[in-house]
Amino acid sequence: MTTADIKLIEDTKTFLKQQLKDAEGGHDYFHTERVLLNAIKIAQGEDCSELIVQLGALLHDVADSKFHDGDESKGPQIDREFLEKHQVDKEDIEQVINIIENISFKGGNFDQKFKSIELDIVQDADRLDAIGAVGIARTFNYGGFKNRALYNPEIAPNLNMSKEEYKNSDSPTINHFYEKLLLLKDKMNTETGKKIAQERHQFMELFLENFFEECGTKGF
C-alpha cells in the first residue's frame, strides 16, 4: 500500500474509536481490530487489493443494524460519507460499500448480490471472530446484553429461519451456536479461512460437550 493508503487506514481507526466508543462489547472497536488482523493474515495468500480488504474489515460494523432497529442503510451511509470526505476513489468506495452490505450472515438463507475476493476475505475474517474462544465470549456477552436465557432445553434451535426471523430471534444464547456458529466452518471462502475455522470449530464442540455435561443433559 502507498503512504497515503496507510494514512487513510490510521485515520479510519481514529474514526472508528469515536464511532464505536459506546458499542456492545462483542461489536466494539476491538472486534474490528481482530477482524482486521484476520483479514491481513488471509489476504497474504490471495490476489487482492490490500486497501479494500483493510477498509472493509475496519468499517463493516459501523452502525450495525442489530443496534439500530434493523436499519441496514445507516452503516453504509456513514461509511460512504467518511470515505468521500477522505477523497477515496469512487470505484474503491463502491467496493467497500458492497462488502459492508453483503458481509452479514443473516440466518445463512439469502442470495448474495455481490461477489469479490475482497468480500470473501473480509467475510471470512469476520466469521472467524464469531467462533473459537473469542466467539464463545462474544456470544454470551451479546446474550447478556439482550437479557436472553442462557439455556432452555425446551426451546430447540431453529435451523431454517428467514432473514427476518433471524434478525428478530430472542432464543436462548446456547441456541446461537447451532443456528449460526457451528455452521460457519462450512461457509468459509478461502483456504486460510477454512483452516483456521476448523481449529476454532473443534474448540466450540469441546465447549458445548462440557457445557451440556455440566447441565446434566445430552444437549440438542
Mind listing the domains of the chain with CATH numbers?
3-215 (1.10.3210.50)
Contact 196, 128 (CB under 8 A): yes
Q: Which residue has the cell 436465557?
A: 149
- What CA–CA distance (Å, rounded) separates 121 from 188? 9
pLDDT score for 70: 52
Task: Choose among 62, 65, 60, 59: nearest CA to 20.
Answer: 62
pLDDT per position as a tens digit, 48-106: 999 999 999 999 989 564 544 555 778 899 999 999 999 999 999 999 999 999 998 65
Give me the residues of the chain with pLDDT under 70, please.
Answer: 63-71, 105-111
Identify the three-state secondary structure at position 142: helix
pLDDT score for 66: 56
pLDDT score for 108: 47
3-state helix, strand, coil in the chain (%, to 5): 65, 0, 35
